[in-house]
Structures are given as C-alpha cells and as structure tokens.
Amino acid sequence: MRAAIYARVSKTENGQSPEMQLRDFTEYAKRRSWTAAGEYVDVGISGAKDERPELDRLMADAHRRRFDVVVVWKFDRFARSVSHLLRALETFDALGIAFVSLSEQMDTTTPAGRMVFTVLGSVAELERSLIVERVKAGLRNARAKGKTLGRPKVILDASKIAKLRAQGLGWKKISRELKVGVGTVLRIAHEARESGLENPSAKTFRTIARKHRLDLAGGSTVAAAFR
C-alpha cells in the first residue's frame, strides 16, 4: 500500500519535532511493508487554525488517489476538532483510503479499526440528527410566538437613488451609500426606464411607486435621474 504521512507541530510545543513523528511513521510503515507516497508537514501552526497548507495539499492529493492510506501520529495532530476529524474520515472512506493514528492505535485497514470508524460515524450521524431536530424545534417555537424568520427584507427607496444619481454619484457609490448590491440599484433603474416614468400612465406609475416607494409627485425627476 502507498502511505501518506501527515505531521504537525505548533510553535508552543517543546520536546517534539516533525522529525520525531516522521521517524515513528517510517518505522510503522516498514513493519507493514507499505511504500512511502509522500510526507505532508505543517510546522509552527496551531491545531485550531483553519489554514494548513500541507493538510490542504494532502486532501487534494487524496482526491487524486495518490495514496492508499493516511498515517498520523495522533488525532489532534491531524484534525482541529472532532467534527473536522469525522468529515475527513468520511472523505477518506468514500475515496477508498484507509486511516491510521499511531497513538490511538486506530487502523481502518483492520476489522477493529473499521468498527471504531463505524462507531464514530454513527455518533456523528446522531449528533447531526439532534442538531437538525433542535433547529426545527426552535423554528416551530419562534413561529408559535409570531416571530418573523429569515433575513429582513431590504426596502429600497427609489427616490433616494434618484437624488444620489442627480448629485453625480456612480452606481457603485450609490450601492455603498444605501448598503445594497449594485445589481439591486441597477434593476430598479432599469425598471424605471422600461416603465416609461418620463410620461407614465397613472396606473403604471402608481404600481412602480408602490413597489419602490417613489415620490408620486416627482416621477419625471426620478426617471431623468435614473438615466
């Protein structure tokens, strides 16, 4: 089997080095008659950090099927949290890649190791189900109390856009000023032009006005500013 080795040491740790971990890995691989397929070493990086260049490279190579088994010294050397560990194990399992942790003596190439993986996976699935149920219960409770769910709607005052446009502001500056996307500003401007606000019918203008909170007395001014 082709074995990939991952090691990590943070700046705060003493008495441990990547070399020590790699030596243990090499001895283990020899006993198993495995071929070294690559070393991935993150040095000076805390376990809590999301950015780990070598771990990212390892996961990318896993998807390229460049090795058959991943060997780590300890769970917390590899993963930043239990959920991160379980996600990685599920990815390896889906790719047909085994996982070995020397300190925890977990080896998914063996029946015992597979059993441990299955138990961990079941615990993770249970936790996900409990989280989903808690979220659903929270939503039901909020609805029962009459609370509005989801992001609040942004009510855009089109007359403000017209005034800012008349002052010479560009679309990007207007969007920043009103704290909405440029696309939203342009969409309203486009609707104003398409609806013929220069000489709108009473019905058309009232519809646009209600939708975008236009000043009913200033239709032609608004339309001109949108150009």
Strand partners, 106: 101
Structural domains present in the chain = 2-107 (3.40.50.1390), 158-225 (no CATH)
CA distance 188 to 155: 12
What is the length of the chain? 227
Report the percent of the chain where pLDDT is more than 90. 13
Q: Which residue has the higher pLDDT, 12 or 36?
A: 36
Tens of pLDDT, residue by residue over 84-131, are 888 888 899 899 999 998 887 888 878 877 777 677 666 656 666 777
In this structure, of 101-105, 141-145, 158-162, 197-201, the range with the lowest mean pLDDT score is: 197-201
Enumerate the active-site residues. 10
Most confident of 81-90, 142-151, 203-212: 81-90
Residues 28 and 7: beta-carbon distance below 8 Å: no
pLDDT at 144 over 70: yes
Residue 121, CA atoms < 13 Å, CB-side half-sphere = 14
Burial (0-12, 13-18, 19+ Cβ within 10 Å), 215 = middle
Residues 197 and 222: beta-carbon distance below 8 Å: yes
Query: What is the predicted pLDDT for the residue at 102?
Result: 85
Angle between helices 171-178 and 182-194 (to 10 degrees): 110
Phi, psi angles (nearest 5°) of residue 4: -100, 135
